[in-house]
Amino acid sequence: MRNLDETDLRILELLAEDARRPFSDISAEVDLSAPAVSDRIDRLREEGVIRRFTVDLDQSTLSGGTPVLVRLAVRPAFVDDVRDTLRDAEPVEHLFVSADGDVTFHARLGSDSIRAELHELLDLSTVRDYEVSLVESAEWTPTVNGTGFALECAECGNTVTSEGERARIGGTLYHFCCSSCLGRFEDRYDRLEAGAQASEN
């Protein structure tokens, strides 16, 4: 994996400001041709740095409800389940999981009873405690910081350095910090694949 250079970072900054910015505009900013910019963006997508292009909606102009910030003290065994449930929940706009397993999300809830609506979103028996705050205003300003850019190993979660490895497995490109992690991931993938094929027969 090649490290990101200043041009990559500038391209990311420009896309963070406006994901629909034409390649010709970006090329003028970074002193590259439009096809060269396109190639770099394709590589950043392939590397997993850019996951998708999206729009920044002002939900208050589109829907009602009360904007709230909810902090959940989730029981450790259920952190992944709660995260996955909230990630797919329509009212949830932003979702964060802290290192100690707390889950915090920003949402627009329409019910008179916040507890009832939370119970509709997830199983509250998975939560030790929760705290709800009304949000007066919210802003999201993505920034690009060169010192903070690093890919995570798909196996262990460690930072992938320039000595790391990558492999396309099942049509998806994965990054690994070392050959051992790559081997473990491939072994597990092969076992799951074999199990899925056996269940089909």
Instruction: Give the start-to-end residue ranges of the domains of the chain.
Output: 1-49, 60-134, 150-201
Burial 57-73 (b: 16+ CB within 10 A, else e): eeeeeeeeeebbebbbe
pLDDT tens for each residue of 22-39 = 999 999 999 999 999 999
The pLDDT assigned to 82 comes to 92
Share above pLDDT 70 across residues of the chain, in percent, rounded to a whole number: 86
CATH 3.40.50.720 fits 60-134, yes or no: no
With contact defined as beta carbons under 8 Å apart, do 108 and 65 qualify? yes
d(Cα 151, Cα 161) in Å, to the nearest integer?
Answer: 8
Residue 107, phi then psi, degrees to nearest 5: -150, 165
Res. 156 pLDDT band, cuts 50 70 90: confident
- Fold held by 150-201: Ribosomal Protein L24e; Chain: T; (2.30.170)
Is the pLDDT assigned to residue 64 strictly greater than 90? no
- What residue has token string 């329509």? 90
d(Cα 46, Cα 48) in Å, to the nearest integer?
Answer: 5
Confidence (pTM): 0.49
Q: Which has more pLDDT, 147 or 136? A: 136
Write down the mean pLDDT value for the chain. Answer: 82
Beta strand pairing call for 127-134 and 92-97: unpaired
CATH no. for 1-49: 1.10.10.10
pLDDT tens for each residue of 170-198 = 877 788 889 999 999 999 888 888 887 77
First to last CA, the chain: 39
